[in-house]
Structure 1
């Protein structure tokens, strides 16, 4: 099998090109467009100016095969690392730093669970996953000589792909459990995101509009890959994670959807009472039960060789034992929501193929996605939200923030909460829905959702609106109708709500302190900093020194809770870092890839804005590596979809690729790129076409 690739500049590269060129020329002069022979199965991968693959085939199987191939072109090593991770084999190739991760993956039986997919995943969807894996393997086989040995020798299975989606979902529950075990606030686990939808009644041109803007790290397991898939049932565009076959947030010809993290309780720690005579026995409400055991083997790279380690893990009926106190006779097992649940990959495919709200809801009722604020809009003008949670009912007699007694009957989990009992809103009178990691009663004006109607392990009844929620709610409720441009501006909004909350009163105190001579040591710098703050428009713009002064002050204020002392320390900090206080935010707040470093607008998790970019401030500079990780803005009308997207760096992980960092200038300018969704537009903007013969 050969790949025939053409560059629209006229330069042909690949085998068999001469024959194809003759056919094309003959077809052109014969007055018809050349197509492959009817008996030949092919897929076409069109690469646009940003390297986004637009994949066309007659069947979804063909699309999946080509999608696996296209992903491998752009980030094969990262894909294989992900697949090694779900097999517990990272330490074999990369050393002891990955040993604990490998042990946990093997202890949780991630791959074994995926291998038992029947009954949860339909044969149809399994076939699509298999085609995707075969496409990846096709690329490995063709390019083995160019690849590191650990990649060239790998062959992806459908079960690897299933395991990856399963682990990506289960990792949220694992993180929740570990925080609970350590006594930290589980509610703070994970990352934030933005989403809002506006009905046709609230737009000037009658469009339905939806924004999706997940805030995730820009590296690691949760990285976004943008793609366009056109088969027989699939006609979908947007983003998925490296190594997964279906779009996770996106749109098709009729609907658009997105996700943000919600606050559902994803795990419980059960304390188990051990038998003093035999610690492998633990107490249940009906007597003693025997813990299961499992010996796992992990190979670890050591120098030029490998060492083999063996570990024994124990399990109670609640889950993996993660801690034991044999002296006191207790063990702690983690019960994970979503454990053993492989249906997310089937659910995602059905969402991709859904054409209306009813089909979308039917997909959600598979309950494979165990969390998320799910937001939906369609070409018919519907907007819909559900606080999604495929978690178990349980007694509120026991706090969901503390270990539950494993031997008490009323501490055990019940059935999964029925879908129809989840908080949800459809087509509200306000004409908008927003959820920027807020509780469901904040999603719109008069949502009809009441905190007291839901258990504390599902919602946080005492939660307040966060800064991003305040901003989105304020703007969306501020006027009757919005133009397309106004909604675009909201998608990239950098207004600092923390400044609205604190700055007016702080400025008054600082002025009084200056008048009282409290800044004698750096009086000129303090006066200049005050003047900068007074003239600031409260936008986190890269050319604004006001954002820099505010950030340094607010960081110190969060530590001291003393307005004047925080200002004094902020002035000292800025002088120590920069020798002055008139410093543009873009000098401090940057992002980087390879040898490219650019300034970037927006706030971070300390001073949030809707358009987010942040990391930990180090050595007087914040090199951003998380925040708005994939921005998607979609305008829908019947027969007409207009969309804009952006990822922070580029589509490729190959440093020599022109698409390694080509979206960075747009990110720095707060500009989204237009999406090419219709075939004519795709062909017009394609700079490379791959014709892939299918098996």
Structure 2
């Protein structure tokens, strides 16, 4: 065995450390000659990984991830290879065909020139760590996992696909004629300068709102090597921290509204439809035959498809009778630099180095927010997308044969909307346009093209709340900023409830609601006494939610109230139902109430899903909450994920963060070595190759 594990709990931890110290002359000298890494697991199973080199850290990080979610990782790698159908059947055929048609793995295999040899070695070391775990535990694993060996190219492909999937979703909506800007969940971020905190700290919140399952699941980790000294979260199967902090800086991301794809309509030659028109004449489309193996029982049956490509990209639709085809041009297509960029961000020590990392342009979107121990706060509306004519709507296909419809160069980084150290002392972005980030941001909507920003956008409810709080007070205590991180104030109630209550009271006075008069009066009383917080013991949130859902349909406050009362009675037989009975989340045999709003009634701290008739079982929302307080030589942080670090139902860390989530509490981060060792309940000593 290449790893040895010591499980220690409580006082035993201190005893183990004492023994290690007493025998340091033998044990630790041996470790130096053997080259080892140490994985300390804290009380929530978070791995704290120490090695002399970044390569050793990556090896141990791959191993640690495999311990917690190996099957999920391998599924991700199979997905980017277009091989899910091979193991899980025909349900994945269309996904596999798309992945192969987009040449995800083929692109990753041609990484040279975009990824440095230094970073490639680290990625390869991560893969080796996963593989050694598979070799050690092969007898315990399903055959489809035990037989898999991860490559560096798998990992590069996963990072690439995770980024490109945003463009794919955008293109899909555009092809269907839907507004791509309405796609997806949001996220929260804000930063506060020392001038605005009582103790002089710089503070940053990161709170991405994403699904709690699938490709975008977060994994929390702490990595300590020679250059890597970083804490935060990454996605399953990726080696570098995506949202986090190191000894000097912290950063986070939220989704922005840049145009990530265009559909080009191609005019086909009536005599030969493999020819399409360009501004310079006819050009032949490329073709590629793709084979996907599909499992049916014990058999693998190959499925063959032929795909065509124009200069703009993959042909996704053709109308041969009319002589047109539609090709999708994806921002970020062929761009593998995100994984290199994330490593550079992980090891950056100041704002200049952070900006240099961003200038690699591997991240094709995101509102990027930064803070550091020296008191700097910085924001950029990031977009590695192409310049193009605004003559054509970015919601409709562009004419593939017109010269002025073609894409130009990538927008220069320095021409993106940015704010650095504003006089207001704060920056916030909750998926709003960049001019809303702070007081007097200096960013003007008319200075930027419409495919980069939405000039007519209004601030959303989460943005309104964060902006109102942060601009409403001169200085904040650490506790006040913690409270803002988990804030559940319902801005929609501020907007609509006062006028609605007036109309409802008038209707009740005039004899309305004859069928349910007592229930209606009770519901009105509840709403009038509600503090407009989405708390689990609040029936006011429940009544408001049911009313607002109906109000969006009817736009009539009184009718919506009557329907909401009927809905509540039909569901529960009463109207005084606590929000925590309606708004819940589950894992395994655990179901708990959860506070906050959802996508229909947003709050800063939120969770939700499409509401069933009477209950909302939440599966998305605040997915990794990180609150960091920075001072020179002293960093304090708090984090939380919805369920737990492990995907193994028998693990104590499968759902151990759920009670904290239910209580709107974040867990303290163990950052310094002494603190890590004190709180470790399990230590793995891993021999490095």
- TM superposition score normalised by structure 1: 0.97
Size of the aligned set, in residue pairs, is: 689
Q: Deviations over 1:547-573 (max 9, x none)?
A: 000000000000110111000000000
1:612 is aligned to: 606
1:391 aligns with 2:385: yes
What residue in structure 1 maps to residue 678 of structure 2?
A: 684
2:688 is matched with 694
The structural deviation recorded for 1:617 is 1.1
How much has 1:303 moved relative to structure 2?
1.8
Tell me which of 414, 417, 421 is aligned to 2:408: 414
Q: Residue 55 of structure 2 aligns with which residue? A: 61
- How far residue 518 of structure 1 moved from its aligned partner, in angstroms, is 1.3
Partners of 1:110 and 1:29 lie apart in 2 by 51
Contact persistence 2:5–2:683 (CA under 8 A): no
Change (3 A) 1:555 1:35: farther
| CA pair 148-513 structure 1, distance change in 2 beyond 3 A | same
Matched residue of 2:514: which SS? coil
Kindly tell me: are residues 690 and 332 of structure 1, through their superposed partners in 2, closer, same or farther at Cα, counting changes over 3 Å?
same
Shift in alpha-carbon separation, 1:272–1:446, aligned structure 2, 3 A: same
1:33: how far off? 7.8
Measured against aligned partners, the alpha-carbon deviations of 1:222-241 in whole angstroms (never above 9, x if no partner) come to 00000000000000001000
Provide the rounded CA distance (Å) in 1 between the counterparts of 2:459 and 2:17.
63
**Structure 1 position 23, deviation (Å):** 12
C-alpha separation in 1, matches of 2:194 and 2:20: 49
SS in 2 for 1:616: coil
Per-residue Cα deviation, 1:655-686 (whole angstroms, up to 9, x for no partner):
00000000000000000000001101000000
Partner Cα distance (1:596, 1:174) in 2: 35
Cα distance between partner residues in 1 of 2:500 and 2:372: 45
Asked if the contact 2:5/2:685 (under 8 Å) is kept, the reply is no
Q: What is the distance in 2 between the residues matched to 1:105 and 1:557?
A: 42
**Whole-angstrom CA distance in 2 between matches of 1:338 and 1:495:** 37
Indicate how the Cα distance of structure 1 residues 597 and 274 shifts in structure 2: closer, same or farther if over 3 A, else same: same
Distance of aligned partners of 1:104 and 1:26 in 2 relative to their CA distance in 1, 3 Å threshold? closer
Evaluate the alpha carbon distance shift between residue 543 and residue 22 of structure 1 in structure 2; reply closer, same or farther with a 3 A threshold.
closer
Partner of residue 119 from structure 1, selected from 113, 117, 121: 113
> How far did 1:619 drift?
3.5
For structure 1, which runs of at least 5 residues remain unmatched after alignment?
1-6
Instruction: List per-residue Cα deviations over 1:296-344 (Å, max 9, x = no partner).
Output: 0000011221110000000000000000011110000000000000000
- Closer/same/farther in 2, CA of residues 24 and 35 from structure 1, 3 Å limit: farther
In structure 2, C-alpha distance between the alignment counterparts of 1:22 and 1:83, rounded to whole Å: 38
Q: What is the CA distance between 1:179 and its match in structure 2? A: 0.1
- Distance change in 2, residues 1:292/1:427 (3 Å): same
1:8: Cα distance to partner?
Answer: 20
CA contact (8 A) 2:189 2:428 kept: yes
Are positions 1:297 and 2:281 aligned together? no
Question: Is the Cα–Cα contact under 8 Å of residues 249 and 370 in structure 2 kept in the other structure?
Answer: yes
Kindly state the Cα deviation for residue 38 of structure 1 after the two structures are TM-superposed: 2.9
Q: Tell me which of 202, 217, 231 is aligned to 2:196.
A: 202
Shifted more, 14-23 versus 193-202: the winner is: 14-23
| SS of aligned partner of 2:610 | coil
Residues 283, 550 of structure 1: CA spacing in aligned structure 2 closer, same or farther, 3 A cutoff? Answer: same
1:426/1:18 CA distance change after superposition, 3 Å: closer
1:237 and 1:536 map into 2 onto residues whose CA distance is 40
2: distance between equivalents of 1:73 and 1:26? Answer: 25
Compared with structure 1, are the counterparts of its residues 35 and 623 closer, same or farther at alpha carbon in structure 2 (3 Å cutoff)? farther
Q: Contact 1:259 / 1:375 at 8 angstroms: preserved in 2?
A: yes
Select the residue among 326, 337, 341 that pairs with 2:331. Answer: 337
Cα offset, 1:39, TM superposition:
1.9
Q: Is the 8 A contact 1:9 1:687 kept in 2?
A: no
Structure 1 Cα separation of the partners of residues 237 and 372 of structure 2 = 28
How well do the aligned residues superpose, as a CA RMSD in angstroms?
A: 2.7
2-structure distance, mates of 1:125, 1:261: 26
User: C-alpha offsets along residues 253-301 of structure 1, whole Å, 9 cap, x if unaligned?
Assistant: 0000000000000000000000000100000000000000000000001
Alignment partners' CA distance in 1, 2:575 and 2:15: 63
**1:435-463, Cα deviation, whole Å (9 max, x unpaired):** 00000000000000000000000000000
Mark the CA change 1:653 to 1:378 in structure 2 (over 3 Å): closer, same or farther.
same
Change (3 A) 1:95 1:425: same
Does the CA-based 8 Å contact 1:132-1:245 persist in structure 2? Answer: yes
* Pairwise CA distance, 1:190: 2.3
Q: Unpaired runs of 5+ in structure 2?
A: none
For residues 185 and 42 of structure 1, the distance between their equivalents in structure 2, rounded to whole angstroms, comes to: 52
Q: Secondary structure at the match of 1:369?
A: coil
Pair 1:17-2:17 in alignment: no
Inter-partner Cα distance in structure 1 for 2:57 and 2:17 = 25
Contact 1:8–1:688, Cα closer than 8 Å, also in 2: no
Q: For the Cα contact (< 8 Å) 1:8–1:687, is it kept in 2?
A: no
Deviates more, 1:617-626 or 1:193-202: 617-626
CA contact (8 A) 2:6 2:682 kept: no
Taking a change above 3 Å as real, the CA distance of residues 10 and 74 of structure 1, as seen in their structure-2 partners, is closer
Structure 2 CA distance, aligned partners of 1:102 and 1:324? 21
Deviation (angstroms), 1:191 = 1.9
Contact preservation (8 Å) 1:223, 1:242: yes
CA distance in 2, matches of 1:20, 1:507: 60
> Does 2:140 align with 1:146?
yes
Does 2:91 align with 1:97? yes
Q: Is the 8 A contact 2:5 2:684 kept in 1?
A: no
CA contact (8 A) 2:584 2:592 kept: yes
Matches of 1:358 and 1:672, distance apart in 2: 31
TM-score under structure 2 length normalisation: 0.98
- The answer to whether the aligner puts 1:275 opposite 2:269 as a matched pair is yes
Contact 2:229 2:347 in 1 (8 A): yes
Instruction: Report if the CA contact (8 A) 1:240-1:247 is conserved.
Output: yes
Q: Kindly tell me: are residues 433 and 158 of structure 1, through their superposed partners in 2, closer, same or farther at Cα, counting changes over 3 Å?
A: same
Match of 1:643 in 2: 637
Q: What are the Cα deviations for residues 462-490 of structure 1, in whole angstroms up to 9, with x where unaligned?
A: 00000000000000000100000000000
Distance 1:346 1:279, change over 3 A: same
Structure 1 CA distance, aligned partners of 2:31 and 2:624?
Answer: 39
> Residues 58-102 of structure 1, C-alpha deviation per residue, up to 9 Å, x if partnerless?
000000000000000000000000000000000110011100000
Distance 1:530 1:638, change over 3 A: same
Contact 1:95 1:301 (C-alpha < 8 Å) held by counterparts: yes
* Distance of aligned partners of 1:522 and 1:326 in 2 relative to their CA distance in 1, 3 Å threshold: same
Assess if the C-alpha contact under 8 Å between 1:279 and 1:329 holds in 2: yes
Q: Contact between 1:234 and 1:352, CA under 8 Å: does it hold in 2?
A: yes
1:380 to 363, 374, 382: 374
CA separation of 1:254 and 1:435: change in aligned 2, threshold 3 A: same
Cα deviation, 1:129-176, whole Å, max 9, x if unaligned, reads 000000000000000000000000000000000000000000000000
> C-alpha distance in 1, partners of 2:17/2:521?
76
Aligned partners of 1:491 and 1:40: how far apart in 2? 44
Contact 2:10 2:681 in 1 (8 A): no
Call closer, same or farther: CA 1:661–1:23 in 2, change over 3 Å. Answer: closer
Displacement of 1:36 after TM fit?
Answer: 3.1
Cα separation, partners in 2 of 1:672 and 1:540, compared to 1, 3 Å: same
Q: Is the 8 A contact 1:172 1:190 kept in 2?
A: no
Moved over 6 A (4+): 7-11, 13-24, 29-33
* 8 Å contact kept, 2:47–2:64: yes
